[in-house]
Amino acid sequence: MPQYHWSKYTLQFKRPSGTSRGVLKTKNSWFLIGVDEAFEYPALGECSIIEGLSPDPLNSYEDRLTEVCAWLNGDRAELPDLSAYPSIQFGLEMLQADAAVKGSKRFFEDDFTLGKEQMLINGLVWMGDKVWMRSQIDDLIERGFTCIKMKIGAINFEEELELLKFIRDEYPADLELRVDANGAFSADEALVKLQRLSSYRLHSIEQPIAVNQWEAMAELCARSPIPIALDEELIGRNPSEFGVLLSSIQPQYIILKPSLVGGWDASSRWIDTAEALGIGWWMTSALESNVGLNAIAQFTYQQGVHMPQGLGTGSLYTNNLDSPLYLQGQKIGFNPTTNWNLSPINHG
């Protein structure tokens, strides 16, 4: 029988990365680990937190991980309540799936894990001054990206409009532009800002106003000249709320981060609910290491996706874990002949 424990791992950003919640230099993940002589590698489940965004209570986080491991090892009769810990829900789901495939981390046998097909991803432009943001855009275009996602809401709005104008003036007309406001606009000003942004032929805008303003968000979704995607709005929701939220707000898209919504099972429920209402969706990572990114990418491929996904975050870190995942231009792929290097993690 496998023996289970957990270990904390701190990922180091290659360059401090700006978000609406400040500048990130490091990010913590906790790994649920199962060790067994029959396993190809230790079975892993990544529990990934973004402080200030993840709903998981940090003051009891490691205690809950210890309780989960006690349950896995048969030292505790019942699995502890994980309803407030979506990242641990996903980590446990990932761990159990990996243990079932003897630690191989090949959860599905399909053309993605066989190395025959890749998935389209968007390029991500981090917040910063105009010079830094322009240099990122240049780099992404040079690497062949045809879909770029840009964070807005951190610098002056007029400067952001100038940057969008620059992109539209300087780059191919068919470049797909997505923007993410992370709730930066007030409900009163949002529609005017969306109207101004619409001059730049945007594919969509993520979370223009802060969460829990359903009436205001529903009005924006009905009136906005730019399709609206809900992101933070989905975090920490009970499954009983999924249908009520989406039918009340009627967004054009939803964006799913399994570490923030509770894993594969919760993501599947969101997808089913959205598709029944004619709402589009795409999947994004939440700054996981390659362990979590691998689980998300394999699950995403299983959904038969065609539009660019937000899965290009694997190259952000100096100390990410070597894996079969790779980026080639604007695509993510899986090379089944490449080995994992999990030596940086404390296997116990």
> Hey, what are 309's tokens?
């996904």
CA atoms lying within 13 Å on the CB side of residue 95: 26
Q: Using an 8 Å Cβ cutoff, are 270 and 260 in contact?
A: no
How many helices and strands (H and E) does the chain possess? Answer: 10, 13
Q: Using an 8 Å Cβ cutoff, are 280 and 308 in contact?
A: no
Q: Determine whether 151 is an active site residue.
A: yes
> Hey, what are 261's tokens?
């919504």
Q: Give the DSSP per-residue string, 143-165.
A: TT-SEEEEE-SSS-HHHHHHHHH
Going by C-alpha positions, the residue among 213, 138, 214, 150 that lies closest to residue 176 is 150
Per annotation, catalytic residue among 27, 149, 193, 257: 257
Count of CB atoms within 10 A of residue 172's CB?
Answer: 9
Per annotation, catalytic residue among 151, 165, 193, 331: 151
Q: Determine the length of the chain.
A: 348
Q: Determine whether 116 is an active site residue.
A: no
Instruction: Tell me the residue type at 171.
Output: Y
**CA 203 to CA 148: how far, in whole Å?**
10
Supply the residues annotated as catalytic: 151, 257
